Amino acid sequence: SPKFVHLMYQWARYVLIEDMKRNSVGTDIPFAEAVKWSPSDKHMAKARRTVAYNKLLQIFQRKYFVTQEHKRK
């Protein structure tokens, strides 16, 4: 369902940001601050988010299809 996909997208984004925060400790790279910045071109940022969201949806749909095919066989 679209709500589940959106939840998974938000969770994956959260995990990625937390991972970047942990891996940037002591490297003088302010990832935490950079991630929170608002992009100058909001339309481009929204387009990138939509592409990533749709790609995740395609992955889930493909996995579901393969699982159903495997069960059928």
**Contact between residue 27 and residue 70 where contact means Cβ atoms under 8 Å apart:** no
The model's pLDDT over 21-63, given as tens digits with 9 standing for 90+, comes to 776 666 565 555 555 556 667 777 777 778 888 888 888 888 8
> What is the model's pLDDT at position 33?
58
Q: Which residues contact 70 (CB under 8 A, 6 or more apart)?
A: none
Region class of 26: left (phi > 0), else alpha (psi between -120 and 50), else beta: left
